[in-house]
Amino acid sequence: MSWKRLHILFNFINLLIVEPTFLQISSIPQIPKVQRLLVLCCRVENFYPSEIYLEWSRNDGEPVHSATHYGPFSDHSHLYSMWSKIQLTMAAEDESAVYTCRVYHSSFSVPGYKDVHYHINTKGKACIAGRRYILFRQSL
């Protein structure tokens, strides 16, 4: 194979790397309650190639091992989506905990991953995370 063909092939392969257009954590229920079930779902949408890895952690990196992963699934445009969920029974000490969904994909620049954070808020009031106002939701 000629160098020119290899160069064209390499450029074509590079075009096939698509960074996810949507990263989000949602919760069921929206307002967590102590001693009740809380489900956190991390959604990653519209990426290519399909190789992707998601992991969950709590606060300062304590791993959450009970995650269930779904996908990746391909859509009509041949892009992929995936979601992962964790289920936990809320405890009083979970108030103000931060859960992180770390997504590894070849489209991300160094360090090769992006984090999405979910701040537990059982009070039902808005709080500030970075420069973003959040109400029982996630921050990037």
DSSP state at residue 101:
E
Lowest mean pLDDT among 20-29, 61-70, 87-96, 125-134: 125-134
pLDDT tens digits, one per residue of 23-69: 999 999 988 999 999 999 999 999 999 999 999 999 978 999 999 99
pLDDT tens digits, one per residue of 113-126: 999 999 998 776 54
What ranges do the domains of the chain cover?
3-139
- Residue 139: pLDDT above 60? no
Instruction: Give the model's pLDDT for residue 112.
Output: 96
The CATH H-level superfamily of 3-139 is: Immunoglobulins (2.60.40.10)
* DSSP string for 20-70: -SEEEEEEESSS--TTSEEEEEEEEEEEBSS-EEEEEEETTTEEE---EEE
Q: In degrees, to the nearest 5, what angle opens at C-alpha 130 toward C-alphas 124 and 132? A: 60
- Residue 76: pLDDT above 50? yes
Instruction: Give the model's pLDDT for residue 5.
Output: 54
